[in-house]
Amino acid sequence: MAVTLERSREPANSGPTRDGPLPRALPWLLLVGGAVGFLAAFVLTIEKIELIVDPSYQPSCSINPVLSCGSVMATPQAAAFGFPNSLLGIGGFAVVATTGAAWLAGAQLRSWYWAGLQIGVLFGAGFVHWLIWQSLYRIGALCPYCMVVWAVTMPIFWYVTLRTLTAARDRAPRPFRQAAARLTAAHGVVLTGWFLLIVALILNRFWTFWTTAVPG
């Protein structure tokens, strides 16, 4: 009896191995998260222009002494590279949203493109956390639109990074594969803990204001 052996038609690197723990949701995360981040950065840019034109202008996101875009935008940290940080957000989030749209449309993105995106989201996450530190412990105020940017940058970085790790897992040393598998399995727990840590830092830093601002 002749036995015919056929190779599986499924690509070796399809599904979660190639696209991380949420292969179907990741392009939507990039599209929606990129669009939300782009909108927040765009509004911040408009507010900054209004403030430059009229120094007495009150930004729409200046709500109280703590939630105050105006206080944040007036600091050197708001233009860390010599121009408003929001311009970086407009460019970066436009790329992220376009990547998600192209992926959903069926585009096959090259490995060099994913490497570039990984570098970009790594820079974005690092820069965002520097801004969080500056807002909490140097400036002493929070920008609501900036916090929207923080909130979308974190999951975008996390899931793009998990995609990178799982894509490289098959050709990596065993300890790397084991670490990547653990991170992928606990992806939701890690992200939730990350968010809760940032929220706890914000509450702790401004606890006196939160407690005295609420009638009791």
pLDDT of residue 117: 97
Q: What is the pTM of this model?
A: 0.86
Indicate the pLDDT class of residue 18, thresholds 50, 70 and 90: low
Domain parsing of the chain, residue ranges: 20-200
Half-sphere exposure (CA, 13 Å, Cβ side) for 175? 0
pLDDT digits (tens, 9 = 90+) for 102-134: 999 999 999 999 999 999 999 999 999 999 999
**Segment 119-123 long-range contacts (CB within 8 Å, at least 24 positions apart):** 120/92, 120/95, 120/96, 121/96, 121/153, 121/156, 121/157, 121/160, 121/161, 122/157, 122/161
pLDDT of residue 3: 40
CATH class of 20-200: mainly alpha
Average pLDDT, the chain: 88
Under DSSP, the state recorded for 142 is B
